[in-house]
Amino acid sequence: MNHSDLPNSQAEKTEAPEMRPTYAPAALAMGITFMFWGILTHWSMSLIGIAVIVYAIWSWMNEIRSAWSETK
């Protein structure tokens, strides 16, 4: 099937660029684990977990923002 066989809406359709792999989801999971581990052991582990969660979310959103800005 050639592009000339497709209707205009399908032929002109652009695909979104793929995101690069990132460690942010794994870091977020680790932060959540540390936070709950701190509930069972010591409050300082919960603070470390919260800090890792904040950093992971910031990093992940920054990756998404930079990918969106590249598409414009």
- Cα separation, 37 vs 41, in Å, equals 6
Both tokens of residue 46? 């919960």
Say what the pTM is: 0.71
pLDDT range class, residue 21, cuts 50, 70, 90: confident
Contacts of 41 (CB under 8 A, 6+ apart): none
pLDDT range class, residue 10, cuts 50, 70, 90: low
